[in-house]
Amino acid sequence: MVLVVAPFPGLAPDLDRTLRDAVRRVGLLGAVTPLNRAEEHERLALVFARGERSLPSWRYTRADVASLRASLSRVDAALAATVREEPLAELYRARTDELAQEVALIEAVGRPGFGERAALRFPSDGVAGAKLAASLADERSDETSEPTCTSDGDEPASLASRLRAAIGAHRMAFRVELREGLLPLAATGDGVVLVAVGRRLTDEAARRTTLHEIEGHALPRHRASKASLALFALGTAHGADDQEGYALLLERRAGFLRGARARELSARHRAVVTMRGGADFAECTTALLESGSPLNDALRIAERTYRGGDGKGAGLGREVVYLEALARVEARLAAHPEDEPILASGQVSIDAVTTLRRAREG
């Protein structure tokens, strides 16, 4: 008897809705951002400026994610009942597992063991990223060092104004939202580009950030929202990570991966390596200062690295994926340039590209 198995048709409508809702509600980066980050940054800056050390005293919001966990368990159980080794079904299940992993991280914020869980979600191969970090550490072809515009002003040259203009030019259903206490200069989410308040930046930094957020993040999300295959909108496991690599590749092509930007990416990667080697927040900050990072930059990098934790043990460490993802994406597109339209169509990982391309072509 020959068993004929039909191709995986995609999720049932109710499961599709459940998974889309989970993607929208799992706000890991929001959950790991301390409520008092700005105040603690100011306190720590004074402490380290005196030549002293201190750990942060961060406070976090406690999110109730029990219903999310239950919803993801239902989706996973339904997918487990599908045909094994069906490529699209496996991609859905891997994404469901990743979301469940992030829910568990949200529950563990500020508690012992958070760093160990985070290292499973954001693993490092220990090779490609370290090699890139070393090559970028002494990049000295600096852009103009004097800030000429603001992050949040009304002037046409501000980052917020440039982002609004780019969103309008591409006719995307995105808004720009100014956010107090935002760690990065800007961040793209579902239908929104967040911009930090009160930052001064160079013209090159404003142009680079606009490219990174619009071409690297917002446009792929916009394209994904119009795709017939739900996985483009849902994202694949590690798709968000490799999208950071794609955004950095766009920066490199445009000549922006140099000077202060290159050195910061190198410092971020090395900070995670230092943290996962057992250093606490104060020790990591000191190492960054000794390697040449200005105090404000060293603190900001350490804050990004240790967020979600208490500063004693390891934090999120998401910054380790940036350079490793750049290496993966660059190598893949050098060998398979035809894959770029897939990577530019959503939060898609390198591992999922072939399956998604075949599904779209079929």
What are φ and ψ of residue 110, in 5° steps?
A: 75, 5
**pLDDT score of 344 more than 60:** yes
pLDDT tens per residue across span 76-104: 988 888 756 688 889 999 999 999 999 99
Convert the chain into a string of H (helix), E (strand) and C (coil).
CCCCCCCCCCCCHHHHHHHHHHHHHCCHHHHCCCCCHHHHHHHHHHHHHCCCCCCCCCCCCCCCCHHHHHHHHHHHHHHHCCCCCCHHHHHHHHHHHHHHHHHHHHHHCCCCCHHHHHHHHCCCCCCHHHHHHHHHCCCCCCCCCCCCEECCCCCCCCHHHHHHHHHHHCCCCCEEEEECCCCCCEEEECCEEEEECCCEECHHHHHHHHHHHHHHHHHHHHHHHCCCCHHHHHCCCCHHHHHHHHHHHHHHHCCCCCHHHHHHHHHHHHHHHHHHCCCCHHHHHHHHHHCCCCHHHHHHHHHHHHCCCCCCCCCCCCCHHHHHHHHHHHHHHHHCHHHHHHHCCCCCCHHHHHHHHHHHHC
- Give the model's confidence band at 125: pLDDT under 50 very low, under 70 low, under 90 confident, else very high: confident
Contact 213, 163 (CB under 8 A): yes
Tens digit of pLDDT for each residue in 194-234? 999 999 999 999 999 999 999 999 999 999 999 988 899 99
Confidence of residue 26 (pLDDT cuts 50, 70, 90): very high
Grade residue 13 by pLDDT with cuts at 50, 70 and 90: confident
Q: What is the strand order of the sheet 186-189 is part of?
A: 175-179, 192-196, 186-189
On whether the CB atoms of residues 219 and 170 are closer than 8 A, the answer is: yes
| pLDDT tens figures, 54-73 | 999 999 998 889 999 999 99
In this prediction, residue 139 carries a pLDDT of: 84
What's the longest Cα–Cα distance across the chain? 79
Q: If you average pLDDT over residues 173-188, what whole number do you get?
A: 94
Compute the mean pLDDT over every residue in the chain, rounded to the nearest whole number: 92
Q: pLDDT confidence of 109, banded at 50, 70, 90?
A: very high
The mean per-residue pLDDT over the stretch 143-150 comes to 81
Query: Which of 12-26, 266-280, 319-333 has the weakest average pLDDT?
Result: 12-26
Does residue 3 register a pLDDT over 50? no
pLDDT score recorded for residue 84: 63
Residue 8: pLDDT band with limits 50, 70, 90: low
Residue 244 has pLDDT above 80, yes or no: yes
- For residue 65, CA distances in Å to 28, 95, 116 come to 11, 17, 20
CB-based burial label for 78 (10 Å; 0-12, 13-18, 19+):
middle
- Whether residue 127 has pLDDT greater than 60: yes
Average pLDDT over residues 135-148: 80
Check residue 87 and give its pLDDT: 85
Percent of the chain with pLDDT over 70: 95
Residue 93 structure tokens: 């299940």
**pLDDT of residue 144 exceeding 90:** no
Q: pLDDT band at residue 181, thresholds of 50, 70 and 90?
A: confident
Pseudo-torsion of CA 133, 322, 207, 42, nearest 10°? -80
Q: What is the mean pLDDT of residues 292-321?
A: 97
Please, what is the angle between helix 259-276 and helix 114-121, to 10°?
130
φ/ψ of 267, rounded to 5, equals -65, -40
Is the confidence at residue 349, as pLDDT, over 80? yes
